[in-house]
Chains A and B, each alone.
Chain A
Amino acid sequence: MELHAELEAHIDRWRGYVQRRQAISPADVEELEDHLREQVADLQATGLDDEEAFLVAIKRLGNLDAVSREFAREHSDRLWKQLVLVPEDSSDAAAPRRELAVVLALAVGAGLAVKAGLTWIGDGEVLARNLGLLVFPFLAAYFAWKRRLTGQVATALLVPFAALAVLLNVYPFAAGGSTEVLAALHAPVVLWLLAGVAYVGGRWRSDGRRMDFVRFTGELAIYYTLLALGGAVLVGLTFAVLQVVGADLEPVLEDWILPFAVPGALVVAAWLVEAKQNVVENIAPVLTRVFLPLTIVMLLAHLAVLTAAGGLVDVDRDLLILMDAILVLVLALLLYAISARDSLAPPGLFDVLQLVLVVAALAVDAVMLTAMLTRIAEFGFSPNKIAALGLNLLLLVHLVRAAWLTVGFLRRRRPFNDLERWQTRYLPVYGAWAAIVVVVFPVVFDFA
């Protein structure tokens, strides 16, 4: 058959239309295309030109909606997007298998590291400081392998990691001191942002890639939770069965299952999120939409309780820590709402809700800052108070600017992109603050 450019263009366009039908698989498209081309060739043989032959052949093939409905009736499973982790009949099946092997090896490695830590360091504060350090290399190694990190980026990751590892173990922390607890709490934040550098393949300056890492973090949290739930069900059932026969699972659970499962699941969850990207709709944004209005209600209730409680000096410090956690959660919610939004869409109801959320969070933050300052004025400085104060000030700046930019966007003075960029640009500040808490606080407060 000689070349018919026009006809090929027609067929290409038609293939594009058909490919968009979820019920029609790529193999079916190929089958239909073969049919179409045969039909066209036969019609051409009867004297029709390309255009006519194509139109008649398309007409005979039938209404695409009806045909695709018929396919859907036969293959209803195809309407559920399937996540194929290890394809069975693809020519390059070796690559996903290799990835699975790497992931499993790294997951076991992370488990071994934690188990070794438990065995040689014991399960006290020293291990708590080092836990992140034990797991981080395996997660980072997965991204390094996946993104084929350059030596330069790998060094940029290794140096801060090594420095953190040395400092955390060389510092003479006082037993039971708060600087130690603060360091143990903030080290994972630093490590997570380092993992982010590995995730974005060293392109950490790119706003888009940073946002990808934010999305990745949210999906990872959800997948990890799902894995943990599934694991808990299995462990629970095993517990029950073993109890019936009089055996006790608890020592095995504590000594072997948890040390391997908890860090291993993190690596596996990271792999799942990587594999599912593009295939399955993200869940985090959907949850965000559900929880955005609910969180506003929660924040308003908190605000009412806080102001009704009166004397802010007497506010329990546990409550302050709780409220800090809630504000961080609100921030995460805000980040996801922003990461999931089409940045070109005009302002809508959810953007107004988002502003309400930010303003409510600001009000809570302001109440907390007042409470903290009064406590500091009353009882003086302590590492805990300064760490909390610092975090609250960071949150305040973040939220104020976010509110300002949201107002600008709602009044159509600014593009949504400004708001997005503000979020991604501000993220490293939290890492820097966490690094300060880990590195500088113990020295300043004499390791107390």
Chain B
Amino acid sequence: MRIDKDLVAAAATPLVLGILSDGDLYGYAILKRVGELSGGSMQWTDGMLYPLLHRLERLGYVSSSWGTSEAGRRRKHYAITPAGRAALADRQEQWAVVADALRQVWQTAQRPPAVAEGWA
């Protein structure tokens, strides 16, 4: 199953912040984690992650530092900041409300025949 592009975009910020709240990571590792969490169905254009990370950094939600990879290349690591944790908690609440609303809609939608008959 492929997840709709807009939905991926909307989920990107809380997903990245949530992954970083488990520990510091670099870009590629963040994407790998997204793939693992969604079973590969959340497809992302890899290059788009970096402008997003830079935006989060500008907003003060994450901080970055240059380190070295095991192969000796320079690598940029990202860490979540206290402001980022606050933003994540906020997003979490919002998503909980959305998810809850959706769940109720799905439950009513599971009995469509009765509704349809009523209107007919």
- Give residues in A with beta carbon < 8 Å to B: 1, 27-28, 30-35, 37-39, 42, 60-64, 66-67, 70-71, 73-75
Contacts and interface: CB of A to CB of B under 8 A. Distances in A.
B48 A34 contact: no
A62 B46 contact: yes
B71 interface: yes
Contacts, number: 65
Interface stretch (B72-80, B81-89, B95-103, B108-116): B72-80
Contacts of B50: 28, 31-32, 35, 67, 71
Nearest to A69: B51
A74 B55 contact: yes
Interface residues of B, number: 20
B73 A60 contact: no
Contact of B46 (A39, A73, A75): A39
Given A31-B76, A34-B26, A34-B69, A73 B51 contact: yes
A61 B49 CA distance: 9
A35 B45 contact: no
18 contacts: A28-B50, A30-B73, A30-B74, A31-B27, A34-B27, A34-B28, A34-B74, A34-B76, A35-B31, A37-B73, A38-B28, A39-B46, A66-B48, A67-B45, A67-B51, A70-B51, A74-B55, A75-B54
B63 to A, nearest CB: 15
The secondary structure that dominates the A interface is helix
A263 B28 CA distance: 55
Interface in B23-60: 26-28, 31-32, 45-48, 50-51, 54-55, 58
A63 B46 CA distance: 10
B9 to A, nearest CB: 11
Q: Chain B CB within 10 Å — which of A30, A32, A35, A60 has the most? A: A35
B75 to A, nearest CB: 5
Contacts of A28: 50, 54
